[in-house]
């Protein structure tokens, strides 16, 4: 049996590679769009979650060494003090709130919020960019598939 071929398209009659490519790209784009929407939803709740958790850690700062160690590392790394300010410490302000004998003026919620938002924003830009490329690929796959169908009818 002789296989019909569309000259210049690299497609043969009965080939479903183009349709499979289009479907695969569609499913991948759907997954990426879902991830993009999820990261947008997460981004809107980041500050509230950070504030809630940091308030808990700061309340337990003097009573639990594990909390103290975590907060000290965090405050030193992000050059911040307290969730919103150093006034949240009832007893004395921890040494991790100081650098070069000056008190960190920024609260940790805004510092961490900016840090997390920068990564989530980069993730959303990457997902959007890849989705655009995939949508273009889906379009080209549909065009090729249409040309294949037209060629199959003409032969």
Summarize pLDDT for 51-81 with one digit per residue, the tens.
888 888 888 888 889 989 999 998 999 999 9
Name the residue among 37, 33, 48, 58 with its Cα closest to residue 112: 48
Measured CA angle at 9 (ends 8, 15), to 5 deg: 140
Q: Which residues pair with 99 in a beta bridge?
A: 102
DSSP 3-state of 88: helix
Q: Where are the domains of the chain?
A: 17-154
What is the value of pTM for the model shown? Answer: 0.59
Please give the angle made by the CA atoms of 113, 116 and 119, to the nearest 5 degrees: 145
Is 11 within 8 Å of 5 (Cβ atoms)?
yes
Contact 70, 57 (CB under 8 A): yes
Q: What class, spelled out in words, does domain 17-154 have in CATH?
A: mainly alpha
């Amino acid at each position: 049996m002789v296989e019909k071929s569309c000259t210049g398209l690299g497609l043969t009659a009965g080939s479903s590679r183009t349709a499979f490519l289009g479907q695969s790209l569609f499913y991948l784009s759907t997954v990426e769009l879902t991830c993009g929407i999820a990261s947008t939803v997460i981004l809107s709740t980041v500050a509230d979650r950070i504030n809630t958790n940091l308030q808990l850690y700061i309340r337990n700062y003097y009573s639990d060494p594990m909390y103290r160690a975590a907060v000290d590392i965090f405050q030193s790394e992000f050059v911040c003090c307290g969730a919103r300010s150093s006034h949240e410490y009832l007893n004395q302000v921890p040494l991790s709130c100081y650098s070069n004998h000056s008190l960190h003026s920024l609260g940790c919620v805004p510092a961490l919020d900016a840090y997390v938002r920068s990564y989530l924003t980069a993730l959303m830009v990457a997902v959007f960019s890849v989705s655009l490329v995939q949508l273009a690929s889906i379009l080209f796959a549909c065009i090729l598939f249409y040309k294949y169908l037209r060629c199959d009818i003409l032969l």
